[in-house]
Amino acid sequence: MQLNPAEISELIKSRIEGLAPSADIRNQGTVVSVSDGIVRVHGLSDVMQGEMLEFPSAPDGSQTFGLALNLERDSVGAVILGAYEHVSEGDTVKCTGRI
């Protein structure tokens, strides 16, 4: 089987032209601990005091939000607003930019 460099080049060019790049910058972190609706999150470097945080959705599909309260160098302390039983260590938490 012989590969033709011109065909490969054309294939790559057509794939690049059809590409629709998009960027979605989000500040996200990971739940380190959760106890009685209080969570500690690592990795939210740009979170603001009082900012709403988005946690994984509940099993029924409803969104779960929390409030960033304790900003420390390596972690953020937050309280989950509503049901928290489905939130566990290792879950991804996203900043919303809303206060």
DSSP letters, 2-60, are ---HHHHHHHHHHHHHT---------EEEEEEEETTEEEEE--TT--TT-EEEEPPPTT
Evaluate if residue 26 carries a pLDDT over 80: no
Q: What percent of the chain has pLDDT over 70?
A: 95
Q: What pLDDT does residue 24 have? A: 60
* Region of 32 on the Ramachandran plot (φ > 0 left; ψ -120 to 50 alpha; else beta): alpha
Residue closest to 41 by CA, chosen among 80, 3, 14, 1:
80
> In this structure, are strands 64-71 and 76-81 parallel, antiparallel, or unpaired?
antiparallel
Helix (H) or strand (E) holding 66: strand 64-71
**What CATH number is given for 25-95 in this structure?**
2.40.30.20
pLDDT digits over 27-86, tens only? 899 999 999 999 999 999 889 999 999 999 999 999 999 999 999 999 999 999 999 999
Q: Supply the pTM of this predicted model.
A: 0.72
Which residues are paired to 93 by β-bridges?
A: 29
